[in-house]
Structure 1
Amino acid sequence: MSQNINQLAESFCQFVQTTFKTTDFIPLHIPTLNGNEEAYVVDAIRSTFVSTVGQRVVDFEQQMATYLGVKHAVAMVNGTAALHIALLAVGVKPDSEVLTQPLSFVATTNAIHYCNAEPVFIDVDAASMSLCPKALASWLEQNAEIVDGKAINKHTQKPISACVPMHSFGFIGDIEGVIEVCQQYGIPVVEDAAESLGSTKNDQHAGTFASCGAISFNGNKIMTTGGGGMLVTNDDEIAQVARHLSTTAKVPHKWEYVHDVVGFNFRMPNLNAALGVAQLEQVPSFMRAKRELAKSYQAFFADTEITFITELPNTQVNYWLCTVKLADKTQRDAFLTVTNDSGIMTRPAWQLLNTLPAFKHCQAGPLPNATHLADCIVNIPSSVIV
C-alpha cells in the first residue's frame, strides 16, 4: 500500500511541476501582487498618512463591507486581533467558557485566552472539517443548563459566553445549524472566517452568518495586506464597540486624550490598507484561478486511493488551501515525505488544539472526526497561477 502511495506521490509531484510550470521549489501558498498594489502604497506614502489615520483605511473598510454585503467592517492589525475584539464585543468575560473546535490554527484559542476565558473543544463534521452542530447539541444537552436566561456549564458553574466555529481551509459547513443550536441556549456565535474570504453558502459570504466574523489578510491568505485582519458585522453596537476598543478606547475629542476603558492599539495602518484595496480588486480573479486549480487537482486524484476534498452542496469555496485525505497517518506521512523531498511543499493539518501544552487541560467532548482528520489530511500547493 505504501509503495502505491509513494508512486502516486511521485506522479503528483510531476503533475504539480507541470501545472505550476516550474521544477523549482513550489511553496504551499504565496501572494499574487500584480495589480495596483505599488501605486496605492506609494500614494499612501506620499500622503504622509502611513499609520492608522488615512483615507485608504476608510476605503478598504467600505469596499470590504460592500463586497461581503454587511453594514460594518473594522480593519485591524491581524486576524487574531479581529477575533479577540469580536469576542469582547459579544460579551466574553474572564472566567467564562467559549465553545470551539480543535481542528484550527492556534490563533482561535489564543484569542479566547486573551479574554481570560477557557476554550471547550467540540468535534468537527467529517465532510466540512468545521464545527459539527450534532456534536455541539450533544455536548450542550449533557453539560449545559439555562440559569437566569444564560447558558451555564452545570459541572464547572461557569457561563458559556460564546461559540467560535472555524471555516477550515475556506470550506463552509453547517454554520446555520451551529447558530440554531447556540440560539437555543442564548450563546452568541463568532465566525472564525480567517481563511474563507470569498467563500459563500447560498450566495452569502462566510463570516456574515453569525453575530460577527473575523477575517485574516496574512501573507498566505487568498488576499493580503501583509499583516492585517477585519471584523465584519451587521450589528451596529458590535461595530461601535469594536472600533472603540481597537482604537485604544479613546473618547472622540478635538484635543483631549480620554480613554474610558482599557483598549487595544489594534487598528490597521494606512499602508496596509492601501495594499488591501488593491488586493480586494483582484479577489474575483483569484477565486476563479483557485477554483480552476481545484478542478485540475480533483481530476488528478479521481479514481485514486487519495480523496480530494471538495465543497459541499450550495457552497462555493475559495479553495484557499486545497486539501486531500489519505487513509491513515502512515499513508499521510509517506505522501508528505515524497512531496517535500521533491521540493513540493505540502503540510499536515495543525496539531489538534486540545493536545497543545497550553490547552491540554481544557474540556473536550468526544473528538473522533477531528482526530481522524488530523491524522489523514494534507494541504497541497494552492497559489494563484498567473
Structure 2
Amino acid sequence: MTRAHDIIRIVRDAYGGADGPLPLHAPIFAGNELAYVQATIESTFVSSVGAYVDQFERMLVEITGAAHVIATTNGTTALQMALLLAGVEPGDLVITQSLSFVATANAIAHASATPAFVDVEMTTLGMSPDALRDFFECDCERVAGGVRHRASGRRVAACVPMHAFGFPCRIDEIARLCAQWRVALVEDAAEALGSWRGARHCGTAGLLGTLSFNGNKVCTTGGGGAILTHDALIAKRAKHLTTTAKIPHRWRFEHNAIGYNFRLPNLNAALGCAQLEQLDAFLAFKRALAQRYCSAFDSAGIRFLVEPPDTRANYWLCALLLDDEAERDACLDITNDAGVMTRPVWEPLHSLPMFAQSPCGPLTVTHDVSRRLINIPSGVRAMEPT
C-alpha cells in the first residue's frame, strides 16, 4: 500500500468511515442562518446598512479582543484598505511572504505598492522573523522619514505577515522588528479566526489586522472580510472610507474623499452572525479532527503539521509534508481520484508573472514547502471524529 492509500484510509477513518466524496472544507449551516437571513429579507435592509452588520462587528470585537472591527466585502478589500490606512502610498514597498494565497500580494498591488518577499519558517509556515531581520539589515537603510530599500530606492511602508492555514506565526518578534524599524505592521489573518498566540488573537498585534469570511473559511458570510484595529481614529477613518466617504446626513449626498464601496451587506452579516454563534463548536470539531489525524499519521510515518508552541491554532486547513514533489503529485492524483479532496499549497507568489520582478530575499523554506505540502479534508461535519 502506498502512502497515498494510507492518506485515504486515515482521512476516511477520521470522518467516521465516510465513503462518499470528502471536500477540503465546506460550510456547515446548522444554526440560525436561515432565520437571520429571512429576518433581513423581511426588514428590506439587505445592503450595507443594517442591524446585523453592527451585531457582526460587535461579536468579532468580543471574539478577537480588537477594540474596533469594520466589516468589509471580502478579505482582499479589508487588506487593501488596511494598507491605505497604514499610510502605504503609490510606489512603496510592502514586505510580505511568498508562501501565501495570491490575495495577499493582490491587495498590496491594489494599494499601488509592490510586494517584497521574505522567507517563511517550517514550524509556523508564516513569515520568518530571522528572514525579516536579514531583509531589514541587509537590504534596507534608515533615512529621514522612514526606511528605504537600497536596490530600488523605494520607501518600505509596511510589513504583512500571513498566518498560514490558521497557524499563528511568531508575530511578537515580527512586531518588535517592525517597531524598531518604524514600519507599519498589518497582519493578514484571513485564515486565522479563532487562532491565538499566547493571550493574543491573530490579527491584533499590529496597527491593523484583517480577516476573511469566504465560503471556505471556519465561519462564512458567503463573502466578507473585516478590519481589526485598536486605534479609534483609524477605525473611524476605515468606516468612513469603506462607506464611499459619505458625510452622514439625512438626505444630502456629500463625500469628502475618494471612497470605496467596501462595506459588508446586511444580508451577508446575518449569515455571519449565525456562523459566529457556532464558532466554539466549529473549532472544537476541527481540533479534535487534528488530534485524530496527528496520531494516525504519526503511526503511518507521514508528517502532519501541528500547531507551534505557545499557540492555539484553528486548524483551518490540515496539512501534510511529503518527501518530495514526485510523491506529492502522485498522492494528489490518487487521493482525488478516490474522492478525497487534497490540494497542493499555493504557487509561491514571487513565481507568478505579475510579481516576478518584485524584490526577494532568500526563499529556501518557501521553495521546499511549495514542492512537498498538501492540504487534506479539514471541514466540520455533522458528526464527531471517531
Calculate the TM-score normalised by the size of structure 2: 0.97
Q: How far apart are residue 173 of structure 1 and its match? A: 1.7
User: How far does residue 254 in structure 1 lie from its aligned partner after superposition?
Assistant: 2.2
Distance in 2 (CA, whole Å) between partners of 1:383 and 1:351 is: 23
Deviation at 1:18, TM superposition (A): 3.3
The answer to whether the 8 Å contact 1:99/1:121 transfers is: yes
Whether 1:10 and 2:5 are equivalent positions in the alignment is yes
Q: Return the letter of the residue paired with 2:11.
A: V
Residues in 1 aligned to 2:323 and 2:234: alpha-carbon distance in whole angstroms: 44
Equivalent residue, structure 1, for 2:364: 368
Determine the structure 2 residue equivalent to 1:299.
295
Offset, 1:303: 3.7
Deviations 1:245-267 (A, max 9, x none): 11111122222211111111000
**CA–CA distance in structure 1, aligned partners of residues 156 and 36 of structure 2:** 44
1:286 deviates by: 0.4
Q: Which amino acid aligns with 1:9?
A: A
Question: How far apart are residue 219 of structure 1 and its match?
Answer: 0.3
Partner of 2:150: 154
Contact conserved, 1:122 with 1:139, CA < 8 A, in 2?
Answer: yes
Q: Which runs of 4+ in 1 moved over 3 A?
A: none
Aligned residue among 89, 92, 95 for 1:99: 95
- Determine which of 244, 249, 261 is the counterpart of 1:248: 244
| Cα distance, 1:14 vs structure 2 | 2.5
* Cα deviation code 1:296-351 (max 9, x no counterpart): 11011114342000001110000000001011111111211211111110000000
Q: 1:59-98 counterparts in 2 under 5 A?
A: 59-98=55-94
* 2:97 and 2:118 in contact (8 A); partners too: yes
The answer for the alignment partner of 2:19 in structure 1 is 23
Per the normalisation by structure 1, the TM-score is 0.97
**In structure 2, what is the Cα distance between the partners aligned to 1:256 and 1:31?**
41
Task: Indicate the residue corresponding to 2:134 in structure 1.
Answer: 138
Query: 1:306 touches 1:327 (CA, 8 Å); kept in 2?
Result: no
Residue type of the alignment partner of 1:264: Y
User: 1:12 deviation in Å?
Assistant: 2.3
Alignment check: 8 A CA contact 2:10 2:297 kept: no
- Shifted more, 129-138 versus 146-155: the winner is 146-155
Give the AA of the match of 2:238: A
8 Å contact 1:291–1:319 — kept in the other structure? yes
Asked if 2 retains the 8 angstrom alpha-carbon contact of 1:139 and 1:365, the reply is yes
Q: CA deviation at 1:50?
A: 0.5
Amino acid at match of 1:246: T
CA distance in 2, matches of 1:16, 1:369: 27
| Superposition CA RMSD, Å | 1.0
Q: Give the letter aligned to residue 248 of structure 1.
A: T
* Identity within the alignment, %: 46
Aligned match of 1:324: 320
Structure 2 regions of 5+ residues with no counterpart? Answer: none
Q: Secondary structure at the match of 1:28?
A: coil
Give 3-state SS (helix, strand or coil) of 1:210's partner: coil
Is the Cα contact below 8 Å between 2:46 and 2:267 reproduced in 1?
yes
Counterpart code for 1:318:
N
Q: What is the letter of the counterpart of residue 106 of structure 1?
A: V
Structure 2 CA distance for aligned equivalents of residues 371 and 155 of structure 1: 23
The secondary structure found in structure 2 opposite 1:215 is strand
In structure 1, C-alpha distance between the alignment counterparts of 2:9 and 2:310, rounded to whole Å? 33
**For residues 164 and 349 of structure 2, what CA distance do their matches in structure 1 show?**
13
CA contact (8 A) 2:71 2:227 kept: yes
Amino acid corresponding to residue 115 of structure 2 in structure 1 = P
- Retained in 2: the 8 A contact 1:98–1:117? yes
* The 10-residue stretch of structure 1 (223-232 or 253-262) with the greater mean CA deviation from structure 2: 253-262
5+ long unaligned stretches in structure 1 = 1-5
SS in 2 for 1:189: strand
Give the SS at the match of 2:184: coil
Question: 1:3 corresponds to which residue?
Answer: none
User: What residue identity is the alignment partner of 2:344?
Assistant: P
Are 2:310 and 1:314 equivalent residues in the alignment?
yes
Amino acid at match of 2:101: F
Q: Check the 8 A contact 1:27/1:344 in 2, yes or no.
A: yes
Offset at residue 60 of structure 1 (A): 0.6
- In 1, Cα distance between the equivalents of 2:29 and 2:356? 40
1:1-386 to 2 correspondences below 5 Å: 7-20=2-15, 21-386=17-382
* 1:76 maps to amino acid: T
Q: Which amino acid aligns with 2:5?
A: E
* d(CA) in 1 for partners of 2:328, 2:308: 23
Q: In 1, distance between residues paired with 2:304 and 2:10?
A: 15
